[in-house]
Structure 1
Amino acid sequence: MSDKKASRKKKYNANKYVKKEYKTLLTGTSYVIAPEHIDYLETRFDSVNEKFLDNLKYALKNFDSISLSFRYTKSLKVTPLLVIYSIIDTYGKNKKINVILSQVSDMVNTAITSTGNFESAEHRFDILKRKEGLPVIQGNNAEVIQLQKKIIDTLVELYLDKTNEKFTDRRFEIGIAIQETLDNVGRHAYPNKEHHERLWWFWCGMIDGKLYIAIYDMGKGIPNTILNSSIDYMKLIEQNYKNYDLMKNKLIDVPLPTVSAHIRETISDEVLIRSAMSSEISTTTKEKHGKGSSRIKALIKNEKESFLLIFSCKGLYQYSLYDETNNQNGGEIAISLSNSLCGTLIQWSL
């Protein structure tokens, strides 16, 4: 009985530190405490993680100095770090950020330092220019051609085995997947913004012998951008409605904006993401851009730890070729998130 009580006392509670947070606000420094677990796959982007991002954004908007504490954080996946960096890069320019490392996990601290230790975007870019590593890099659509070449060249030099017989094919697949994803950001994620305002964040690194690549944008999100005038709406309806013929007849002469609104209300975000990744649905009338989903998925191999994750709005999509039970096709999984994540977050585990 006493052991259970002790374990409950140690459980992370964000409200436990409210008094300390407000006390530091009086001194002009905001104290932002990270959750115990920052892992959007396991937590399904729960309210604790959502509140942490909101607190961080508020602190950076309203204070010149913040203390960002991971003191009690036990697990921190690199992919959510791109979301954290995006908030810091957007709202934390010329702000003083004191990072407090974890007291309970060396892996958390490694994730923080390997991605750039929350230094400025300019400082992290200098690391890339010197080819000393690939921390989280901020880019935009205006400079995407030059920057993606530098990123891909550095990735190849640091992380790919040039003696491997599949090196050339792998380099090509990775390059195409990155280019396609960044191209999608430029064409879809920020429809009403100038090219230099269409921001994205990139990270790549090795974890336990596996190569991980992640890209994040703060745009509209796949569930919203898939519903444009050039999509095959009838194919989308056919894939996702049981009463396809009835729905087709109901909507066939209806204006596209009405069809789009109806689909947005009746199909969940995770299903819309899965549809966007289908090779049968093209979201552009330009033929050369109609096969982007297959290029993005082409990096995934029939291996246990090889998979693709896409988080967007309230949807999570996972793609794998490996099935642990019978080593056959692992297929796709579409899951609802607990809260809506701004933009789109993509991770390849290779």
Structure 2
Amino acid sequence: MKKSALDKDRSHHRAGVSRWLNEQERKFHVYGASSKSKKVRARSSDRRVKIFAPPIISIYDFNAERSDAYKRTMQFLSDIERNFRVNNCFVDFSETVTVTAAAIIVVYAAIEQAGVGRKGKAEIIWSKSDRVNRQLRLSNVSRLIRGHKISYALDSVINMPIVSSVGGKMSDDVVDFIQNRIYTDMSADIEHVYGDAVSETINNVGSHAYPESSADERRWWLLCHTIGKKLYLAIYDTGVGIPKTVVERRWFMEAFQFTYPQAFKNMLAENPEKETHLLSRIIPARISDHELIGMSMKGDVSGTKKEKRGQGSKSILALVEETSGGLLWVFSNNGVYRFDQVVNKPEMYPLPMPFPGTLVQWNIELP
């Protein structure tokens, strides 16, 4: 029986990995050296690092009863950050059976950032799951691990890969992709709504996520695709996080007083000599990250629009609220915000381990 193209591809890959391993072994072999020296060199060859991916790569399973997948995914990200810079390493997906799209964008970002300036070679060990391998290829994770340069031409692709960019350079391209490849009958009004949600989220990254970084360091990652009739879009950054930036907004104290009136009164009573705006430094110790994310989604409750920037969350929330089957997730630092259009009520949760940065994801049913 002839081998399928996939079997041939796997055979070629295994052969390539085997050749690479042999090359590494030869690098450490010293001809004519004493047996003691040979043993030392042999032990050195065993220092190749293998970074193991967990069976389930997901950020959704964070509840106490089933938080193992989330914790192991966070550990995987830490392992990438710590070990991917090491010369000649493997990223091993052999035991991975499930990868969620929200998690793969975070993994991509971790690999890209850890790979900056590295000189050694890295190789991927494929999963036993064809579906997982397809995700790794389509997202360009496999190419990124191997050190290939990733380029974008969104006008010529059917499936959008993960986009990595800074500033607003790619926001128009993303909206054009949604219009031309996914939502071909998009009206001017709908395009404006989508454009607002995408561009304002990207602008928030540039304005708030990296307060101490230069413009060319304020990187974000975006993933957009469809599953059936559902549009899925996620934007991720590795900045300081919403809970640390929302307290800096000019409307924050008024919003806090409106949302948590008793806590506000208690703080005033305990700190009678402090000016109101200085109390914002105390608030993060009083309320949790998921509550601070919830306040960021409400924005300026006074309606005076004191600060237009930082209100991009309102465009996203409106988009989810007004479309059938809308679902919004916001992961940041130690908290999660979730809004389901069917339930029409926000839910907020603490995370068992800190999330590195901020991920905003929305799912919308297409007509």
TM-score by length of 1: 0.80
C-alpha RMSD of matched pairs (Å): 2.9
Q: What amino acid does structure 2 have at the position aligned with 1:79?
A: A
Superposed, 1:1-350 pairs within 5 Å as 26-43=45-62, 46-61=70-85, 63-93=86-116, 95-103=120-128, 105-120=129-144, 123-128=149-154, 130-141=156-167, 144=168, 146-162=169-185, 167-228=187-248, 230-240=250-260, 242-251=262-271, 253-255=273-275, 258-281=278-301, 287-289=307-309, 291-301=311-321, 305-323=325-343, 330-350=344-364
**Per the alignment, in what secondary structure is the counterpart of residue 184 of structure 2?**
coil
**Deviation of 1:28 (Å):** 5.0
Deviation at 1:303, TM superposition (A): 6.5
Amino acid at match of 1:319: F
Cα pair distance change 1:262/1:318, threshold 3 Å: same
- Cα deviation code 1:318-341 (max 9, x no counterpart): 012203xxxxxx210000110111
Q: What displacement does 1:96 show?
A: 3.2
Q: Secondary structure at the match of 1:299?
A: helix
User: CA offsets, 1:110-149, max 9 Å, x none?
Assistant: 32222123324974433436445321111112xx2x3211
| Unaligned segments of structure 2, at least 5 residues | 1-41
Return closer, same or farther for 1:225/1:282 CA change in 2, 3 Å cut-off: farther
What secondary structure does 1:125 align onto? coil
2:132 and 2:285 mapped to 1: Cα distance?
39
How far did 1:310 drift? 0.5
Distance in 1 separating the partners of 2:306 and 2:260? 24
Q: Distance in 2 between matches of 1:152 and 1:229?
A: 28
Name 1:19's counterpart in structure 2.
Answer: none
User: Aligned with 1:265: secondary structure?
Assistant: helix
Cα distance in 2 between the residues matched to 1:122 and 1:286? 45
Query: Against the structure 1 CA distance between its residues 300 and 156, is the aligned structure 2 distance closer, same or farther, given a 3 Å change threshold?
Result: same
**Structure 1 301/112 Cα, relative in aligned 2: closer, same or farther at 3 Å?**
farther
SS in 2 for 1:43: coil
Alignment check: 8 A CA contact 1:31 1:68 kept: yes
Which is worse superposed, 147-156 or 334-343? 147-156
Taking the aligned partners of 1:347 and 1:25, their CA distance within structure 2 comes to: 44
Report the identity percentage: 26
Q: What is the deviation of 1:270?
A: 0.4
Instruction: Provide the rounded CA distance (Å) in 2 between the counterparts of 1:123 and 1:156.
Output: 27
Instruction: Give the AA of the match of 2:56.
Output: H
For 1:96, the aligned partner's letter is K
Larger RCO (alpha carbons 8 Å, 6+ apart): 1
Contact 2:219 2:237 in 1 (8 A): yes
8 Å CA contact 2:254–2:302 kept in 1: the answer is no
Given the superposition, is the C-alpha separation of residues 25 and 78 from structure 1 closer, same or farther in structure 2, using an over 3 Å criterion? farther
Secondary structure of the 1:108 match is helix
Change (3 A) 1:59 1:243: closer
Contact 2:267 2:279 in 1 (8 A): no
**Structure 2 Cα separation of the partners of residues 224 and 281 of structure 1:** 19
Of 40-49 and 252-261, the range deviating more from structure 2: 252-261
| Counterparts of 1:25 and 1:186, CA distance in 2 | 44
Deviations 1:63-121 (A, max 9, x none): 22322122212221111111111111112145533222321x44323322221233249
* Contact kept in structure 1, 2:251 and 2:306, CA below 8 Å: no
**Secondary structure class of the residue paired with 1:35:** coil
The residue matched to 2:141 in structure 1 has which SS?
A: coil
Q: How many residues end up aligned between the 2 structures?
A: 314
Once residues 190 and 283 of structure 1 are traced to their aligned partners in structure 2, the CA distance between those partners, rounded to angstroms, is 27
Runs of 4+ in structure 1 off by over 6 angstroms are: 282-285
Residues 232, 282 of structure 1: 8 Å contact kept: no
